[in-house]
Chains A and B, each alone.
Chain A
Amino acid sequence: MGNEAIARGLIEAGCSVATGYPGTPSSEIMESLAKWKKELGHRAYLEWSINEKVAFEVAYGASLAGARSAVTMKMVGLNVASDAYLSATYLGVRGGMVLIVADDPGPHSSQTEQDSRFFAWLAKAPAFDPSTPVEALEMIKRAYEISERYEIPVMLRPCLRVCHSRQNVTLSEPNQIADLGPFKKNWPRWAAIPKFRLALHGELNKKLQKMSIEEADCSPHLIHEGKSNKLAIITSGSVASHVLDTVREEDQFRDLKIFKLSMPFPANRAALQAIVDGHERTLVIEETYPVIELQVDDKRKLAGRLSGLVPSQGELTPEVVEDLILQAMGEPIRVRPEVQINARRPSLCAGCPHRPSFFMLRKVFDKGIYPGDIGCYTLGINMGAVDTCLCMGASIGMASGLTHAPDGNESPAVVATIGDSTFFHAGIPALINAVHTKTSFTLILMDNSLTAMTGGQPTPASMNLVDGSAANPVDIENLIRACGVGFIEVVDPYDYDSLKGSFERSYDYSVKKSLGVSVIITRRPCIRAKGIVLSTDRYEVLENCERCMTCVRDLECPAISFVKESKKVVIDPDSCSGCGFCVNVCPCGAIVKKVL
């Protein structure tokens, strides 16, 4: 897998400190590092950090201490880490530092389609853009060379199609751990005041200028040599692979030339211009923003996003690429069959401990407003229990805002839902803010003991670190108490009566009496967590079912469905995981445990 190849590149380059925060499509990089560390007995220090900003700072500190370091995240994670990143490019690094940011054109599993290469431009730092897993591995090594030569953090920006593609990769021997010697005090650089920052900014500009001219990665290189000068394509990243395969497969494209840019920022502008000048037309195909295109000075013979040809949103899949090339050649696009995709919506797993929390939330806080958050539990939208989803930790900040309705409007019941990992990531400041401002709402902290959506990574409350060694677990209840919250209850979401009791007391505290934030921790491990043994109990619907649909509609369990032909509600024993919560939900008492 591309993410494994990236991890292997880090190990082979002698990286000794790697940090990150999980997020699709980047999560497997750290997990693979943990695997290589174990298999090779490598000495690298690895951590899943509390969030991307902290992860960046830890990796940056390690670089100043002489280590080759790396930090991994998905693109929206860079928004969180951007404060550190934009300053670090001015100050520079000592040991090589690689920032790995996985983009998700599509988007398939993200809030935005932002192009992290644009962030590199904003930060004035170089960005590599690999096309395949094999290339990603090699680019990691180049990135460390560039990082140390110019004393600058270097970005590797793999897209989803690199991260989650698998390819056969040739491995090399891991390098010894790099060490540039201990930290040397130099406050005008590492703690620069504005006067020195101006000088550092000047140096940064010079570095970029020099790099764009002297480093081969900044100039486009020919990857397909056609005979014609009619049309050239300049491309980079995973979409470059689609371009190459498509051109090779279609005879009518054989004569085109394809140029690829390994490092789209900072590009060698003169080299770009020479390609544009040497062809009747040049098509730029890149994801997802016009980074290369904007660095072409004379755009008159250019086709791309700025000319309106290339779509400004959505993934550039191979068939989109094919049509773009045809259009740039002035040929008619392919006649394709009309495709109607009825994609199945994702749903919380059968037996997911979040489902009872959402069910009870709807029952007790009827007609409330439900700000939600980022994780598996965003899927609470299927149950009508998530009304908003903005970014990591936003449920709590937004809950405060939603509570402060203008005068004259009755304050609604506001119930925020957040997972344990997301709470640690960005929820804590928002909770303290709400307590301090005497804001009154309910917060349901759905604690499944791990970061479920991305594959079950540990949180700061976990007993173990990413490499399996013992952690110092942080106690969530104590943390919430220390934030000043006056109402905390912990409940097992599978326990219907206790769950109902907790939710009702919270309603009384925060909605009826407006006494402040109440926090209910609904605690039960994710059913996909390692070592979880699921119940073998199975349930059935008896004849006294009145087809009220409470279980099908309100519980929305994927194991329960209404069969139109027989007009019966049925529980699929293959999908059921035996949690038994549906028994309590049925108003007719028609769901019972099967006698096997």
Chain B
Amino acid sequence: MSQIVLCGRGGQGVVFLTRLIGDIATSKGLNVISAETHGMAVRGGSINSCVKIGDYQSSLVRWGKADFLISLDEKETQNNRHFLRDNGVILENSVKEPQEGILRIDATGMARNLGMVQLENVVTLGFASMITGFPLSPKEIKEGLMLDKRENVRDMNVKALELGMDAASPGKS
């Protein structure tokens, strides 16, 4: 049983991550239900989405119930913090230093270095996958990304994922 809230700006790929997490969890044989934002808000507005893995019927996370908050934009973290449970973990795309309860990664910078700033979402997910208790392992996510039939997209996504993973364990690379 795991509840995740994801947030960011329209166009950052929050919906992509939501679907990816859902698809991978489903392929593991888990029950998943998730909620997405579409329509007007997607034009650069604030976006959030929920993923609930386990025996749930509702796609929305109740305030104070999320285990993880994955934020692609630090300004959106504040708008969604109330979803997090006590001792829940925030994973944030930001250039700032980490602090208690907030783990940070400069995913935008790393994605730009990779030549495609749009990959910031996958970099952030790679980072999140290394956190204790995260419902999907790096290996499972990589396998999920490998299913993409477009070779160049697949390769870039895997590179981005690995960058995020390495950032979580600097000694490893």
User: Cβ of A123 < 8 Å from any Cβ of B?
Assistant: no
Q: CB distance B58 to A318 under 8 Å?
A: yes
Other contacts beyond A165-B33, A244-B58: 4, CB < 8 A: A167-B33, A168-B26, A249-B65, A346-B41
CB distance from B22 to the nearest CB of A (A): 5
Which of A342, A346, A376, A378 gathers most chain B CB within 10 Å? A346
Which of B33, B40, B59 gathers most chain A CB within 10 Å? B59
CB distance from A345 to the nearest CB of B (A): 6
The answer, among A164, A319, A347, for a CB contact under 8 Å with B63, is: A319
User: Cβ of B169 < 8 Å from any Cβ of A?
Assistant: no
Closest A residue to B79 by CB, please name it.
Answer: A341
The answer, among A108, A241, A244, for a CB contact under 8 Å with B59, is: A241
User: Cβ of A109 < 8 Å from any Cβ of B?
Assistant: yes
CB distance from B100 to the nearest CB of A (A): 17
- Docked complex Cα distance between A57 and B61 (Å): 40
CB distance from A354 to the nearest CB of B (A): 11
In the bound complex, residues from chain B placing their C-beta under 8 Å from that of A109 are 38-41
B-facing mask of A492-536, CB < 8 A → 1, else 0?
000000000000000000000000000000000000000000000
Q: CB distance A25 to B59 under 8 Å?
A: no
Q: CB distance A346 to B75 under 8 Å?
A: no
Q: CB distance A346 to B10 under 8 Å?
A: yes
Closest A residue to B51 by CB, please name it.
Answer: A166
User: Cβ of A39 < 8 Å from any Cβ of B?
Assistant: no
Whether A347 touches B44, Cβ cut-off 8 Å, given contacts A24-B39, A161-B60, is yes
Q: CB distance B62 to A346 under 8 Å?
A: no
CB distance from B3 to the nearest CB of A (A): 10
Q: CB distance A343 to B35 under 8 Å?
A: no
CB distance from B50 to the nearest CB of A (A): 9
User: Cβ of B152 < 8 Å from any Cβ of A?
Assistant: no
- Docked complex Cα distance between A309 and B10 (Å): 35
Q: CB distance B43 to A379 under 8 Å?
A: yes
- Among B28-74, those with CB < 8 Å from A are 31-46, 56-65
Determine chain A's interface SS by DSSP, over half rule. Answer: loop
User: Cβ of A245 < 8 Å from any Cβ of B?
Assistant: yes
Instruction: Return 29 A-B CB contacts under 8 Å, by A number.
Output: A24-B38, A25-B38, A108-B41, A109-B38, A109-B39, A132-B57, A165-B33, A167-B59, A168-B26, A168-B31, A241-B56, A241-B58, A242-B62, A245-B57, A246-B62, A249-B62, A318-B60, A319-B64, A340-B78, A341-B79, A344-B9, A344-B76, A346-B43, A346-B44, A347-B43, A378-B40, A379-B43, A453-B40, A574-B108
Q: CB distance A242 to B60 under 8 Å?
A: yes
In the bound complex, residues from chain A placing their C-beta under 8 Å from that of B82 are 336-337, 339
In the bound complex, residues from chain B placing their C-beta under 8 Å from that of A454 are 39
CB distance from B29 to the nearest CB of A (A): 9
Number of A-B residue pairs, CB cutoff 8 Å, is 126
In the bound complex, residues from chain A placing their C-beta under 8 Å from that of B18 are 166
Q: CB distance B57 to A344 under 8 Å?
A: no
Q: CB distance A344 to B43 under 8 Å?
A: no
Q: CB distance B42 to A165 under 8 Å?
A: no
Q: CB distance A453 to B39 under 8 Å?
A: yes
CB distance from A562 to the nearest CB of B (A): 16
In the bound complex, residues from chain B placing their C-beta under 8 Å from that of A290 are none
The answer, among B35, B75, B78, for a CB contact under 8 Å with A161, is: B35
Q: CB distance B57 to A241 under 8 Å?
A: yes
- Docked complex Cα distance between A55 and B78 (Å): 43
Taking Cβ atoms with an 8 Å cutoff, the residues of B that contact A are 9-11, 18-19, 22, 26, 31-46, 56-65, 75-76, 78-79, 82, 108, 112, 117
Whether A347 touches B38, Cβ cut-off 8 Å, given contacts A161-B59, A245-B57, is no
Q: CB distance A348 to B58 under 8 Å?
A: no
CB distance from B159 to the nearest CB of A (A): 18
In the bound complex, residues from chain B placing their C-beta under 8 Å from that of A24 are 38-40
User: Cβ of A322 < 8 Å from any Cβ of B?
Assistant: yes
In the bound complex, residues from chain B placing their C-beta under 8 Å from that of A132 are 33, 57
- Among A329-374, those with CB < 8 Å from B are 336-337, 339-349
CB distance from B44 to the nearest CB of A (A): 5
CB distance from B87 to the nearest CB of A (A): 15
Q: CB distance A166 to B31 under 8 Å?
A: no
User: Cβ of A313 < 8 Å from any Cβ of B?
Assistant: no
Closest B residue to A346 by CB, please name it.
Answer: B45
B-facing mask of A436-480, CB < 8 A → 1, else 0?
000000000000000001110000000000000000000000000
User: Cβ of A49 < 8 Å from any Cβ of B?
Assistant: no
Closest A residue to B27 by CB, please name it.
Answer: A168
User: Cβ of A317 < 8 Å from any Cβ of B?
Assistant: yes
User: Cβ of A429 < 8 Å from any Cβ of B?
Assistant: no
CB distance from A587 to the nearest CB of B (A): 26
- Docked complex Cα distance between A378 and B79 (Å): 25
CB distance from A286 to the nearest CB of B (A): 15
CB distance from B25 to the nearest CB of A (A): 9
Q: CB distance A318 to B61 under 8 Å?
A: yes
In the bound complex, residues from chain A placing their C-beta under 8 Å from that of B65 are 249, 318
In the bound complex, residues from chain A placing their C-beta under 8 Å from that of B26 are 168
The answer, among B38, B44, B78, for a CB contact under 8 Å with A164, is: B38
In the bound complex, residues from chain A placing their C-beta under 8 Å from that of B37 are 108, 164
Whether A347 touches B45, Cβ cut-off 8 Å, given contacts A166-B22, A168-B26, A341-B79, is yes
Q: CB distance A165 to B59 under 8 Å?
A: yes
User: Cβ of A395 < 8 Å from any Cβ of B?
Assistant: no
B-facing mask of A99-111, CB < 8 A → 1, else 0?
0000000001100
- Docked complex Cα distance between A249 and B65 (Å): 10
User: Cβ of A558 < 8 Å from any Cβ of B?
Assistant: yes
In the bound complex, residues from chain A placing their C-beta under 8 Å from that of B44 are 344, 346-347, 349, 558
In the bound complex, residues from chain A placing their C-beta under 8 Å from that of B62 are 242, 245-246, 249, 317-319, 322
Closest B residue to A378 by CB, please name it.
Answer: B40
In the bound complex, residues from chain A placing their C-beta under 8 Å from that of B31 are 167-168
* Smallest CB-CB A-B distances: 5 pairs: A109-B39, A346-B45, A24-B39, A318-B62, A165-B59
B-facing mask of A239-272, CB < 8 A → 1, else 0?
0111011100100000000000000000000000
Q: CB distance A166 to B36 under 8 Å?
A: yes
In the bound complex, residues from chain B placing their C-beta under 8 Å from that of A318 are 58, 60-63, 65
Q: CB distance A108 to B39 under 8 Å?
A: yes
In the bound complex, residues from chain A placing their C-beta under 8 Å from that of B9 are 344
CB distance from B162 to the nearest CB of A (A): 22
The answer, among A166, A244, A343, A455, for a CB contact under 8 Å with B32, is: A166
User: Cβ of A51 < 8 Å from any Cβ of B?
Assistant: no
- Among A132-188, those with CB < 8 Å from B are 132, 161, 164-168
